[in-house]
Structure 1
Amino acid sequence: MKIFNLVGCGILACGFLLSCNTSTKKEQQQSSTVASKDSDEALLDQIQKQTFRYFWEGAEPTSGLARERIHIDGNYPENDQQVITIGGSGFGIMGMVVAMERGYISKDQGAQRLDSIMNYLAEIPRFKGAWSHWYHGDSKKVKAFSEKDNGGDIVETAFLTQALIVVREYFKNGDELQKTVAQKADDLWKGIDWKHYTNGKNVLYWHWSPSHQFGMNHAIQGYDECLITYVLAASSPTHPIDTAVYREGWARSGKIVSDLQKLHIPIGIKHNAKEAEVGPLFWAHYSFTGLNPIGLSDSYVNYEEVVKNHTQINIAYAEANPKQFKGYGKDKGWGLTASYSIAGYDAHHPDNDKSVISPTAALSSMPYAPKESIAFARYLLDSLDTKVWGKYGFYDAYSETENWYPQRYLAIDQGPIVVMIENYRSGLIWELFMSAPEIQAGLKKLGFNHP
């Protein structure tokens, strides 16, 4: 698991007008009041449209990619305002496809932005085809995530690659510019050397850099947010991994399976946490923005049951509310994930509950529990209003118990909101990603079943 770090006033760059990251209380109130009283469809449209602004108006101006963080209330880490995030940008790019399809922006606007983005992604340093977790957007230089994490990050790369494939599938039969963007996205995806990240073993390793090699020594094993990394690595038409890498690495030769329960709900899979614990809820989202878990299973795990049960455990926990935190409940606040916290950043889950709710947890679970997710959104807008709602949609996290309402956003949390709500509404991103012939072949290669 990794911890994430972004924002600023807009300028005219790359042909895009990026507006100032400020909003008046009147603007916030108008947005939330309209949404809270509308039909479900209008409510979801409002949330998607407002959240998408993070990736459109709030983008880093040189790259057009997602800033790691936007703090409406200021107070950034030093030299952090122009830092871009590769994984968060992947979710944002998929959000652009949603925005084009929904008419928030035109296809021509989207294609122009994406053309510049593809050029930028081709120009910045890559490590055996993989991108780093962070870059300084203005200088195109890598920003190390930690001392030895200064090279390729194959997991963040996977989150971006989902988006590259989605863009290719969306634009491949379009006009001349759209086809050009599709080809650039395809070239980027085919340039990733997934096999290199095995270090010659039957497991993928998260990091590699020229200076530290595989010094981080972080083997990627199930279960957490990383399933998509193995699916893409197996699906690669240029540098694929062998089936044994998935079987022995991710699936741990069958040890990924669990018969444990939480709150009388089967967990179904061994989470990378202490026994009988479940991880933060983003584990049910990041890999599944493109990869459709509904009906997805292999010889070890039924992934539809895993993500739905993970969601139901969060709902049941909020309803039980063992610590008696204010505002918890299945029709109120629920959903624990990695987000800002009262003391810095934390990975929240039922065994690490700090009274902090992050809206992305429930909203990005909409395909799995739509009734409870929509009830959560209405609760926030009706009960907390502008305490939790701003220029780029719902703020990253809050605590009613501590009366804590920071006006801050993180790309990695905002992006899945747009995408997963769309997957609930139309299935658009799931359909595009799952229709890619390489993905179909890769899933078959790994022994997956899917409708």
Structure 2
Amino acid sequence: MKIKYSFLLLSLLLGLAQCKSPGAETSRLTDDALMDTVQHRTFRYFWDGAEPVSGLAPERIHLDGIYPENDQNVVTSGGSGFGIMAILSGIDRGYVTRPEGLARMERIVSFLERADRFHGAFPHWWYGDTGKVKPFGQKDNGGDLVETAFLMQGLLAVHQYYTDSHNKKDSTLAEAVLTEREHALASRINALWRQVDWNFYRQGDQDVLYWHWSPEYGWAMNFPIHGYNECLIMYILAAASPTHGVPASVYHEGWAQNGAIVQPHRVEGIPLHLRYQGGEAGPLFWAQYSFLGLDPHGLTDEYCPSYFDEMRNLTLVNRAYCIRNPKHYRGFGPDCWGLTASYSVDGYAAHAPNEREDRGVISPTAALSSIVYTPEQSLDVMRHLYRMGDKVFGPYGFYDAFSETDNWYPQRYLAIDQGPIAVMIENYRTGLLWRLFMSHPDVQRGLKKLGFTTDVTQ
């Protein structure tokens, strides 16, 4: 195992040495060429950087080779859900061939079929070589319903990709055989989807979903999930399940807390409609993780008149705070903003637009994954970061975080931050992942069950 990872590290370092410094060529790149450069490089995290046995996304890749103990072959369920969607975009763009993409998806699904699950739900982490759970914390060694939702969001998009009409126009025997394998894979994904027991995670018949369950510690984590935060997709999928679907009351009483989720207010002079858990405005991953597949355009329910407008305004709040820069950090400004959960100068933190949770750390995923909401402003950041060159841009795209104030530029990546960059760039360019996920009939039934309206017609 040490030899394998030493070889991987050597390959990464050689690749990094061969990467031309982007600074000089930035002004010559069109916006589309710049987006494609960033998307393709970020895709490579999930393709070249994948754990070799499972095919899933490693929790982290550190080009310095320094990892937490026993962490090098750990794969992440939520980050892999994002990565699966990034791979789909790579297949569709020709970064890899259709047969190569299918073989990778088959490896991933084969791993998920044999890996540890808990009432159908996946853990936060596995060991990629064995499929055994790696505890995320002492009592967090079982099912993680939120990470399961992130993974299922990706798998349902894969399901639709391999049952979509564009894969049914076969002109050769080889293509017909390939399509047969694709449809077989879609059926296997459907089985995984139907096996998740969302109802079990109500801890009986409560009208709320709980984040964790452990076969050893039971419900000791005791984390009921209320909105608003990144977990909207979990409630939608829980309602959408054709086998273990939760009643609509779980959404209305648990997530929305009988309407208490509605709390109109202004931050940085920008209106927000929802209550953000723990503050007036949350970190930007709250605007991204649920909406990698869930299309916010035209999405509304009784609690929010426009999820697109709400998430765009949350993004604009984040940008406005960074421009105001009340703590006077170096580098913050109109072309360098974005606070979200990422590595930090003192470990890991959920950076947010307030003085308590602002540590002077810019996380590239924050602004870049917001491109669907703020295209011009996000492209300004993308171009600025690309111009900064190798100290922030490596073989798998932009590194996870940096601080000009602290002269801190770690060459490290996290899967759950890289995935949204590639996915949201694709959604901005073509809407591919939105179109696939939203086309799933179970998703549409779940949205209707909860009282959502969308722009998608079935």
Q: TM-score, with normalisation over the residues of structure 2?
A: 0.92
Contact 1:86 1:134 in 2 (8 A): yes
Report 1:299-318 matches (<5 A). Answer: 299-301=302-304, 302-318=306-322
- For residues 408 and 59 of structure 1, the distance between their equivalents in structure 2, rounded to whole angstroms, comes to 15
Contact 1:60 1:82 in 2 (8 A): yes
**Is 1:423 paired with 2:427?**
yes
Shift of 1:203: 0.2
2:400 alignment counterpart: 396
Match in the other structure for 1:407: 411
When the two structures are aligned, how many residues end up with a matched partner?
435
SS of 1:20's equivalent in the other structure is helix
User: For 1:387-442, what per-residue CA distance to the aligned partner results, in whole angstroms no more than 9, with x for missing partners?
Assistant: 10001000000011111100000000000000001111100000000111111111
Gap change, CA 1:9 and 1:291, over 3 Å in 2: farther
**Given the superposition, is the C-alpha separation of residues 70 and 25 from structure 1 closer, same or farther in structure 2, using an over 3 Å criterion?**
closer
Distance 2:180 2:79 in 1: 28
Per the TM alignment, residue 294 of structure 1 is displaced from its structure 2 partner at its CA by: 1.4
Among 220, 223, 245, the residue aligned to 2:228: 223
SS at match of 2:83: helix
Matches within 5 A, 1:35-74: 37-74=28-65
Instruction: Measure, in 2, the Cα distance between the counterparts of 1:126 and 1:117.
Output: 15
Q: How does 1:201-350 map to 2 (within 5 A)?
A: 201-274=206-279, 277-301=280-304, 302-330=306-334, 332-350=335-353
Shift of 1:23: 3.9
Q: For residues 236 and 208 of structure 1, what CA distance do their matches in structure 2 show? A: 19
Quote the RMSD (CA, aligned, Å): 1.5
Matched to 1:357, the amino acid is I
Do the aligned residues in 2 keep the contact of 1:48 with 1:418 (CA within 8 Å)? yes
Classify the secondary structure of the residue corresponding to 1:219: coil
The answer on whether the counterparts of 1:89 and 1:160 sit within 8 Å (CA) in structure 2 is: yes
Change (3 A) 1:390 1:50: same
Give the distance between the partners of 2:21 and 2:405, measured in 1 at CA: 26
Cα distance 1:34–1:115, how it changes in 2: closer, same or farther (>3 A)? Answer: farther
52-61 vs 36-45, greater mean Cα deviation: 36-45
Find the aligned partners of 2:368 and 2:384 in 1 and give their Cα distance: 12
In structure 2, list runs of 5 or more residues that go unmatched: 168-178
Whole-angstrom distance in 2 between the partners of 1:319 and 1:310: 14
Q: Are residue 124 (structure 1) and residue 129 (structure 2) matched?
A: no
Residue 33 of structure 1 deviates from its aligned partner by 4.8
Q: 2:144 aligns with which of 153, 158, 169?
A: 153
Aligned-residue offset at 1:28: 3.1
Identity %: 52
Output the CA distance in 1 between the equivalents of 2:196 and 2:146. 12
- Indicate if the aligned counterparts of 1:164 and 1:185 stay in contact, CA closer than 8 A: yes
Q: 1:198 aligns with which of 196, 202, 209?
A: 202
In the TM superposition, residue 27 of structure 1 has moved relative to its aligned partner by 2.5
Does structure 2 retain, via aligned residues, the 8 Å contact 1:8–1:58? no
Tell me, yes or no, if structure 1 residue 170 matches structure 2 residue 161.
yes
Task: Measure, in 2, the Cα distance between the counterparts of 1:264 and 1:293.
Answer: 23
Partners in 1 of 2:14 and 2:339 — Cα distance? 27
* Structure 1 pair 32–240 and aligned structure 2 pair: CA distance change class (3 A): farther
Query: Normalising by structure 1, what TM-score?
Result: 0.94
The equivalent residue for 2:374 is 369
The 1:9–1:414 alpha-carbon spacing in structure 2 relative to 1, beyond 3 Å, is: farther
Counterparts of 1:375-394 in structure 2, within 5 Å, are 375-382=380-387, 384-394=388-398
Q: How far 1:25 sits from its partner (Å)?
A: 5.2
- Structure 1: give runs of 5+ residues left out of the alignment: 1-6, 12-17
